[in-house]
Structure formats: structure tokens, C-alpha cells
Amino acid sequence: MNRFEGKNVLITGASAGIGQATAVRFIAEGATVFGLARSAEGLKETEGMVADPGRFRSHHVDMADDASIVAAVRAAAEDLGGRIDVVCNIAGVTLATPIDDLDIDRVRTINQVNFVGPLRLISEALPHIPAGGSSAIVNVASTSGTQAMPTMAAYAGSKAALVSASFTLAVELAPKRIRVVPISPSGVQTKMKGDFAKQLQGYRGGDWYSRLTLLWGRETMGQADDLAAFIAFAASEEAKYWNASELRVDGGTRASF
């Protein structure tokens, strides 16, 4: 498929996990991708994975730093000829914030990276996103936004905020016919998922998370490529009637809880 031939795509978190897989997917479907991430090494790895390295450009960004986001979007717009057809907010941070030992600096960092940063990035990219119905903004949230995640209140709150904001942004951008869709994954095998599991090892009610089982068993945990496929669909013309509605991609965990 070449659903994105001639399209320009801006992706955050493009150095690993879902963001990396999404960059690979879009380029395989004909797009030119401008990948943003903190890790220069990870971005270099992504470049080596794509079908056509000439269609992958990259730039450093710190989603916790406003000036860094502004500079990154400016660099993307200049490199892509002033047109950004698709924006994918995928970068995120997962940190435990148990309420009985709250680290307020962690709360601020999580909120900035997972919620404030994506809003700032969209705002900066907006002048470069064509109106008319062929453009899309895809915000990758989390099932934690609508499901209890003990010790992860700040993370869950930031993702719930991103989902809610996506609905409002869709209304604001309706006159331009720019779609905004949130995707909420769970149980995807990435480094972030591994870090999340490590942080929960000491949780007293650990059996809570053991109940979040996939319908087909843990050996069938989702892969980053699976999410990349959903993100590509969400941004494509095939999904042109999908707007302001959350897609939960979780392997059936909610049904099994």
C-alpha cells in the first residue's frame, strides 16, 4: 500500500517503541517522516530500519521543554517545505507517583511530556497542516486514562487529559476539516512497558495488575508494529469519517478485567 505517497508526517517518540515502528510504517507506505525524539542514537537506529532512509529526517526534541518543541517544529516545517499532513504525538513518559509518597516534580514532568508538550506541538504545527479533510492529528494516549492504575495517578491523569483534549481540538479544527483522533493502547511490548512493570514490583496490591490479562494469554502481548498499523489507518483516507472518538487497542484487557 502507498496510502501516504507524497505526504509529510511529523512523529514524536520516533527513536523507540511505538513511535519507531510508526515511522517505519509510514515510510513503507510512501510518506516522508520527520522524526522527533530525545535520543540521537535511537533516531539513527530508526533511520537504519526504514525502507528508504532518504525519506526519514530527524531532529532532537525535549517534550518537557517548550523552546525545544518550538525549535523542532520549525525545523520540521522548513525541511518539509512548509507542509505537515499528519501529526502523531507518540512520545511519553511513565513514572510511578504513589499518593502516599508523592514526588511533585515527577507529576510536573509527566504532565508536561504527556499532555502540555503535545498541545504545544500541535499549536506550533497547525499553521503548516493543510485544511480540507486530508490531514489528521493522532494522539497516542493510554487505556489508563479510563481505567484505574494504582500508583500511576499522574500518568493516568495526563493520558485522560490528552484524550479529552483530542475531542475538544477536533471541534476547534472542524472548520478546517482537520481530524483529531486519540488511540489508547495497553499491553504493548515496548521498553516503556518493561519500565512500567519494574516500577510496580514493590506495589502491595500487585495482584491488581495480574488481572489485566489478554484474552489470548500474555504470550500474545501486542507489538509496536500492531499499534503502528492502527495509527497509519487512523491517519489515512480510509479513516476519513473517524473523528473525535477514542480507539482502545488493548487485546481485550478491559473485557477480561
Closest of 138, 155, 115 to residue 228, by C-alpha: 138
Instruction: List C-alpha distances in Å: 37 to 15, 73, 123, 198, 203.
Output: 6, 12, 18, 23, 30
241 is catalytic: no
For 116, other C-beta atoms within 10 Å of its C-beta total 18
Quote the radius of gyration of the chain (alpha carbons, Å): 17
Dihedral pair phi/psi, residue 214, rounded to 5°:
-75, 145
- Phi and psi (nearest 5°) for 181? -130, 130
Mapped onto helix, strand or coil, the DSSP state of residue 127 is helix
Residues annotated as catalytic are: 155
